[in-house]
Structure 1
Amino acid sequence: MSDHTSETPRPADAPEPSEASGQAGTSERIAWSKASVPEPRDTTSEPPKVPGYAQRGGQPHPPNPWRQSSPQPSALSTLRPAAPAAIRGATLCSVIVTAMLSALLLGDGLGPNALIVAVSAALGAFFAARTAGRRLRPWTAFWAVGGLALLAVPALRDAGWPVFLAVVSAVALGSLALHGSRSWLGVFLGSLGLFSSIADGLAWGARGVRARMTGSRGRLGVILRSVAVAIVLLIVFGALFASADAAFADVLGSLMPDVSLSGTPWRFLLFLVGLAGALAAAYAAAAPVRWDGITVRRGKPRGRLEWALPLVVLNLLFAVFVAVQLTVLLGGYDKVMAEPGLSYSAYARQGFWQLLWATLLTLLVIALALRWAPRGRGSDRTLVRSVLGVLCLLTLIVVASALRRMDLYVDAYGLTRLRISVAAVELWLGVVLVLIMAAGVFGARLLPRAVAASAAVGVLAFGLVSPDGLIAEQNVQRYRDGHSIDIGYLRGLSADAVPALDTLPEPLRSCALMDIEGSLRSDDSSWYATSWGEAQARDILRKRSPADPTRSCSGSRTGIGGSDRDGDENDPYDPY
C-alpha cells in the first residue's frame, strides 16, 4: 500500500449515497476497501525497444553495405501496363496460322505472300487488343492500313530496293499502330518497339498453351487432331484427283507451296520468325509500351540576342545564295556555261550534294534552335516563329535549286537508281520543311506523327511508281531524242524495266533484256512469290522471242552520237 492515497473517482453510473447512516457507512467501507486494493497489473512482458534502423529494415543489426540491393524495376516495366490476361483461342489460332504461313509461303521470295502473312498477324493483334479492352483510334487505324498498303509494293514490283524500303517501313508503321506514340521520341521508339515485346510475347504464349493443355479438358488436343486429320485427307484425296486429271494437277501444283526436305531448316527458321513476330505483335497490342512516358528535358532558354543573332546571320547567308540563284535563272544557264572550264555536267553536278547536306544540316539547326529558344512571353514566340519561318522558306528555295541541278544532271547523263533515290529524299525534305512551317502556324502537336506519315507515304509512292521502270523509260526516251544509251547499265535492272526496254529496236532490245530474261527463266516461283511486274515481264518476253543470242552484245554502251556519259566515269556518288 502506498504512503498516501488518492481519491478514487466515482463512476458515472454509481448510485447516489443514501441519507441513512447505515447505508452511508457501508458505502464508505466498500469505497475504502476498493481504494486500498491495488489494480491488477498486466502480466505480459513489455516488448523490448528496437532501434530505428531495425524497425525500418526488420534486421536487429545495421544493414551490410556490401550486400547487393534488391533489383530495381526496369524502365520498360514502368512504361508497360500490367501483364495481359491469358492468351485467348482466337489470338492463339491466328499466331499459329501466321507461323505456318511464314514457313510455307515466305521461303520462295517476296510477293503477295508478305501481305497474306501480315494480315494473319494483324488479326491476332486485333483479337488481343479487343480482349484487353483497347479501342481503335484514328491514328492507330491509319498506321495499320498504311503498313498493309506498303506491303502491296512487293506484290506489284520486282525491284529489290523499293521492296526492302517498303517492308522495313511496314514493320515500323505496324509497331506504331500497336503502341500509339505521339511525341518525337515516342514515335521513334514506337516504330522499333515491336522488338521489345518478343521475349514477353513468347513467354505469354507459352503460358497460354500450358494453361490450355492442363485446364481445357483436352480441347486443344481435339483441335490439333482435327487439323492433322484434315491435312491427311487433303494430301490423300488431292493426290488421287491430281493423278486422275492433268488440268487439276496443274492448278493444284500452282496453288500449293513447294515444300522440299532440302529447305526444311530454312522453313523451320521462318516458322520461328513468324511465331515470334505474331506473338510480339499480339502482346504489344494487349499491353503496349507507353513510349511517350520517356520525356526529354527541354534545354535552358537563351536570351533573345544570344539565340537570334546566329540564326539571323544564317538567314542572311541563305538570302544571298538565293539571290545569286535567281540571278542565274534570270540570266539563263547558257551564260554560266560560257565560263571556261565549266562544262554543262560540271555545273549540274557540282552543287547538288552540297545543297542536299545543307538541307539536312538546316533541319538539325532548327531542332537545336527550338530546344534552346526563348520562351515565356508572347513576343518570344513571335520572334522564334519569324526567324525559323524565314529560315525554312529560304531552305525551300535551296531544295528547289538542288532539284533543278539534279534535273540538269539527268538530262545530261540519264536517270540512275542513285539519282532518283537522292532526288526523292530531297523532295521529302522539302515536305518536312513545309510541315514545320505549318506547325509554326497551327501548332506542333501533330508534327511528329505528320513527319512519320509523310515518310511512309513517300516510300509507298516511291514503290508504286516503279523506279526501275522510270529509269528505263527515261533512258529509252533519251535514245529516241538522239543521245546514246548505256545498255550495260540497263541490263542490270529488274523485271519492272521490261515494258520500256521492249520498245527498243534490235539488237539493243535483245542485249538489254538478255540478263533479265535469263533470270526469269531460271526462277520459276509460285504465284504467291511472284510480283505483278515479274508476271507482266514474263508475258512480254513470251510473246516476243529475242533475236539471235550469238549476236554480239559485248559493248556496254551502244547507240548513236557517241557516249554522253563521257566525263561521268569518275562520279563517286553513282556506283550503279
Structure 2
Amino acid sequence: MSPLPSSPEPSATVPGWPPLPWVRAPRKTLAASLALGVFAEVLLDRASWGLGFPLVVAALVGALAWLGGREGWQRARPNAWLLAPLGLVSVFVAVRDSSWLLVLNVLTAAVLLMLLAHFWAAGRVERLGLTGYVSVFFSSAARILIYPPTLARDGVDLRGLKTHSRLLGALSRGLLLTLPVLLVFGLLLGSADGVFSSTLGRLLSFDLDLGTVVSRGIGVAFSACVAAGVLGHALRRRATKELGDAEVASATPRLGFIEALMLIFAVNALFFVFAAFQVAYLFIGDASSPVPGYSFAEYARQGFFELVVVSALTLALVMALTRWTRRETRVAQTVFRAGTSLMVVLTLIILASAMRRLALYEDAFGYTLLRLYTHVFMGALGAALAWRAVTLWWKPERFAVGAFITALASVLVLNFLNPEDFIVRRNLEQAAHTHSLDVRMLTYLSADSVPALVDGVSSLGEVSAGSVTDLLEEHQDRLSQRETVPEWNLSRLLARRALLRTGAWSAPVNP
C-alpha cells in the first residue's frame, strides 16, 4: 500500500485575489474540519443542548492537539491552563438547564477557544493588556473566516484529480450502468416474494426530504468552516509579532504629578464623606427601617445602579491615572500609590453599600435572576478593584490577567451556585414566614429549580402550594419528552427523579 502523497506546497497568489495565509498540513486539517463539521451537526442539531456540546469542544481540542503534534503541544503548554476553564464551562452546558447559564457558558467557551487558537503556537495570555483580550477575541474571530478557502485551496489537489480522470470517469459510467439494472431486478424480485419485498423496504426506508438534506448540509458546512477557522488560526505560521508575544509597552506619561494628585485628593475627600454616611446608616445604624421621606423600597433601590457605575468608573480612573501620570521620583511614586490605593478602599466601601442596599431589597421582596447575577457581578467588580490595589504596588502589568481570571471565576461561581435552585429555596423560606410568593417569577425558571420546588411545596400555604403544584405539572409535561444522548442534561435528569419521588402523577416521566 503506497503512502499518502505529501501535502502540496502553498500555491502562488493569483493577481487580483486577496493573499491567503499558509496552513500546516492542509489536507489533514481539511479532513479533520469536515469530520468535526459532521460530528457537530449530529450532536448539536437538537431541540436542546446537553452532553453533545462538551463532546464537540473536546473533539475540537483533540483535533488541534493531534494536528499540532508534540512540538505544537510544547509551544502551547504555557497557555494550556485555558483548557481547565474551557472544559468546566463546556461540561456545565450538560449540567445546568438555565437558558441564562447556557448563553453565558457558550459565550465563555467561544472566548476561551479564540484565546487558545491565538496563543497555541506562541505568546503568553498574561502579557495582554486589558483591551488586548477584546482585540484578540474579535481579531481571531475575523481572521478565522479566511482559513476555510485556504484549506480548500491547499487541501484539494486538482492536478491529482486530472491525473486520475480516466479512473473517475470509468467509475462514474459503471455507477450509471449498475443502478438501473439493480432497480429493475429489485422490483421484479420484490414482486415475486412478499417477505423479501418488506425486508428490502425496511432496509431502504429513509427520508430524502429536500429541506432536511439542505438544512443538514448547511449545518455541516457551517460547523466545518468554524472548525477549519479555529484549527487553521491555531496552526498558522507567525510572520510578524502579534498581541501577547511581548509585554504591553508603557505609555508616555502626559499628566503632571501635581494635577493628578489634586484629582486624587479631591475624589478621595468626596468618597470619604459619602462612605461615612453609608457606614453610619447601613452598617452601624438601623438599616431595617426606612430613611425619613423614603419608603423602604425606594431607599433600597434608589442610587443602586449609580453606585455600581461610580465603582466601575473609579476602576477606569485609577487605571488611566496609573498609565498617564508622570512619577519621576520614588517619593512621588509612593504618594501616588498611597492615594490611589485609598481611592480603591473607599470605592470598595461604596460598592459594599450598593450590595447592602440590594440585600435589603431582596430580604423584603425576594430574589430574582437579575438580582442574583448583579450580586455576582458586584463581587467580581470588588475583586477586580482589590486586585488593582495590589498591582499598584506589585507587578502592575499583571492586572489584566487578574481581571480576566476574575471574570472566569464569576462564571464558574454562578454555575456551581445553581442560581435557580438558590432563588427558589430562599424565596420559599421567606414565603413560609410572610405567606407571600411571587409565583409569576417562578414560571420563568428551568428544570434547575424543580428539585427545590418539590422539596419546598409542602411548607407553603394552600394558595401558594396550589400554584406551585400547577407549575410542577407544567415541568412534568415538558420533561416527559424523550431525550437523545446528545441532549442529556444532569439537571433535567435530577428534575425527573424529583418528580418521580413525589408520586403525584400517574403519567410516566422519562428518567
Match of 2:22 among 66, 83, 89: 83
- Structure-2 residue corresponding to 1:306: 259
Q: Matches of 2:148 and 2:334 in 1, distance apart?
A: 52
- Structure-1 residue corresponding to 2:354: 402
- Structure-2 residue corresponding to 1:283: 232
C-alpha displacement of 1:277: 1.5
- Structure-1 residue corresponding to 2:470: 511
Given that residues 299 and 372 in structure 1 are in contact (C-alpha distance below 8 angstroms), is that contact kept between their aligned partners in structure 2? Answer: yes
1:323 maps to 2:276 = yes
After superposition, the Cα gap between the structure-2 partners of 1:497 and 1:541, relative to the gap in structure 1 and judged at 3 Å, is: same
Q: Compute the RMSD of aligned alpha carbons.
A: 3.3
Structure 2's unaligned 5+ residue stretches are: 1-14, 120-124, 172-197, 200-206, 459-464
Match of 2:287 among 314, 324, 333: 333
Q: Matches of 2:251 and 2:96 in 1, distance apart?
A: 44
Corresponding residue SS for 2:396: coil
Given that residues 132 and 286 in structure 1 are in contact (C-alpha distance below 8 angstroms), is that contact kept between their aligned partners in structure 2? Answer: no
Residue deviations 1:251-270 (CA, integer Å, cap 9, x gap): xxxxxxx9987544443332
Q: TM-score, normalised to structure 1's length?
A: 0.69
Residue deviations 1:335-391 (CA, integer Å, cap 9, x gap): x52x44323222222232221111111122123222321134323322331121111
- Structure-2 residue corresponding to 1:203: 149
Residue deviations 1:474-512 (CA, integer Å, cap 9, x gap): 111111233411112212210100001112034243123
After superposition, the Cα gap between the structure-2 partners of 1:296 and 1:442, relative to the gap in structure 1 and judged at 3 Å, is: closer
Q: Matches of 1:461 and 1:260 in 2, distance apart?
A: 45
Relative contact order, higher structure (CA 8 A, sep 6+): 2
Q: Matches of 1:343 and 1:92 in 2, distance apart?
A: 65
Amino-acid identity (%): 24
Corresponding residue SS for 2:361: helix
Given that residues 112 and 152 in structure 1 are in contact (C-alpha distance below 8 angstroms), is that contact kept between their aligned partners in structure 2? Answer: yes
C-alpha displacement of 1:331: 2.4
C-alpha displacement of 1:547: 7.1
Amino acid at match of 1:199: L
Amino acid at match of 1:305: I
Match of 2:483 among 525, 528, 540: 525
- Structure-1 residue corresponding to 2:394: 442
Q: TM-score, normalised to structure 2's length?
A: 0.77
Q: Matches of 2:471 and 2:65 in 1, distance apart?
A: 47
1:536 maps to 2:482 = no
C-alpha displacement of 1:411: 0.6
Structure 1's unaligned 5+ residue stretches are: 1-69, 226-242, 245-257, 550-576
- Structure-2 residue corresponding to 1:568: none
Q: Matches of 1:270 and 1:431 in 2, distance apart?
A: 41
Q: Matches of 2:109 and 2:369 in 1, distance apart?
A: 22
Q: Matches of 2:244 and 2:328 in 1, distance apart?
A: 24
After superposition, the Cα gap between the structure-2 partners of 1:207 and 1:98, relative to the gap in structure 1 and judged at 3 Å, is: same
Residue deviations 1:148-179 (CA, integer Å, cap 9, x gap): 21111210011111111111011101211222
Corresponding residue SS for 1:157: coil
Amino acid at match of 1:157: R
Match of 1:154 among 81, 93, 106: 93
Amino acid at match of 2:406: S
Corresponding residue SS for 1:333: coil
Matches within 5 A, 1:238-249: none
Given that residues 85 and 408 in structure 2 are in contact (C-alpha distance below 8 angstroms), is that contact kept between their aligned partners in structure 1? Answer: yes
Larger radius of gyration: 1
Residue deviations 1:366-419 (CA, integer Å, cap 9, x gap): 232223211343233223311211111111111211111111111100000110
1:126 maps to 2:65 = yes
After superposition, the Cα gap between the structure-2 partners of 1:106 and 1:502, relative to the gap in structure 1 and judged at 3 Å, is: same
Residue deviations 1:170-219 (CA, integer Å, cap 9, x gap): 1101211222342223322223343133233212321343139829999x
- Structure-2 residue corresponding to 1:476: 428
C-alpha displacement of 1:439: 1.1
- Structure-2 residue corresponding to 1:189: 135
After superposition, the Cα gap between the structure-2 partners of 1:170 and 1:216, relative to the gap in structure 1 and judged at 3 Å, is: farther
Amino acid at match of 1:179: H
How many residues matched?
435
